[in-house]
Amino acid sequence: MLPYKIVHCPDLFASDQGESERNLIQCFEPPADTPDSGKFIVVLEEIDVLLGSNRADTLEARMASLLLDCIDSTSAFVLGTTSLPATLSEEIQRPGRLDTLVELHLKDAAARAAVLKIMLRRFGNIADSQKDIAQVAKKAYGFSPADLQNLCVRAFMEHRDVTVDDLLKITETIVPSSLSSFQSKIPRVMFSDIFGMDEVIARVRTLVLEPLCEPERFYEMKVEPPRGALVYGPPGTGKSMLCCAIANELAVNTIWVDASQVRSMIVGETERALADLFAQARKSSPCILLFDHIDALAPQRGTSLSSENTSDRIVTSLLVEMDGFGSHGMTDHLAPSVFVLAVTSRPHIVDPALLRPGRLDIHVGLDLPTAAQRMSILEGLLGKMPAAASISGNGDSLRKLVERTHGCTGADLANVCREAALCALRRDINSEMLTMADFEQSMNALNI
Ligand X SMILES: Nc1ncnc2c1ncn2[C@@H]1O[C@H](COP(=O)(O)OP(=O)(O)O)[C@@H](O)[C@H]1O
Question: Which of residues 240 and 280 has its CB atom nearest to ligand X in the complex?
Answer: 240
Any residues with CB less than 8 A from the CB of 92 and at least 6 apart, and which?
A: 47, 51, 67, 68, 71, 80, 98
- Minimum CB separation of residue 238 from ligand X in Å reads 3
Stretch that binds ligand X, among 77-85, 230-238, 256-264, 388-396 (CB under 6 A): 230-238
Question: SS3 of 148, please?
Answer: helix
Contact between 410 and ligand X by CB under 6 A: the answer reads yes
Nearer to Mg ion by C-beta: 345 or 376?
345
Strands (E), 366-443: none
One character per residue 237-276, x = contact with ligand X (rule: CB under 6 A): xxxxx-----------------------------------
Part of the chain binding ligand X (CB under 6 A), chosen from 41-49, 77-85, 236-244, 420-428: 236-244
* 409 interacts with Mg ion by CB under 5 A: no
Instruction: Count other Cβ atoms within 10 Å, centred on residue 75.
Output: 11
- Residues between 3 and 62 with contacts to ligand X, criterion CB under 6 A: none
Tell me the closest approach of the beta carbon of residue 143 to ligand X, in angstroms: 30
Binding flags for Mg ion, 229-258, as an x/- string (CB under 5 A): -----------x------------------
In this chain, which of 92, 115, 297, 377 binds ligand X, going by CB under 6 A? 377
| Residue 387 to residue 421: CA distance in whole angstroms | 8
Q: At what angle do helices 436-445 and 395-404 cross, to 10 degrees?
A: 10
Question: Which of ligand X, Mg ion, none does residue 237 bind (CB under 5 to 8 Å by kind)?
Answer: ligand X
Going through 34-179 in order, the beta strands assigned E by DSSP cover: 41-45, 77-80
Q: How far is the CB of 293 from Mg ion (least distance, A)?
A: 7
One-letter amino acid identity for 42?
Answer: V
Nearest Cα neighbor of 71 from 49, 51, 42, 100 is 42
Q: Does 191 bind ligand X (CB under 6 A)?
A: no
How crowded is the C-beta side of 50, counted as CA atoms within 13 Å?
30
Q: CA triplet 52, 58, 59: central angle to 5 degrees?
A: 75
Q: Is 135 in the site for Mg ion (CB under 5 A)?
A: no
Binds 411, which of Mg ion, ligand X, none (CB < 5 to 8 A, cut-off by type)? ligand X
Q: How far is the CB of 294 from Mg ion (least distance, A)?
A: 11
Residue 277 interacts with, from ligand X, Mg ion, none (CB under 5-8 Å by kind):
none
Total residues contacting ligand X by CB under 6 A comes to: 15
Answer yes or no whether residue 294 interacts with ligand X by CB under 6 A.
no
Q: Rounded to whole angstroms, what are the CA distances from 116 to 81, 151, 162, 266, 336? A: 24, 10, 14, 41, 20
The torsion angles phi and psi of 29, rounded to 5 degrees, stand at -80, 135
| Distance of closest approach, residue 231 Cβ to Mg ion, in angstroms | 9
CA geometry: angle 189, 255, 107, nearest 5 deg: 125
Tell me which residues touch Mg ion (CB under 5 A).
Answer: 240
Tell me which residues touch ligand X (CB under 6 A).
Answer: 194-197, 235-241, 377, 410-411, 414
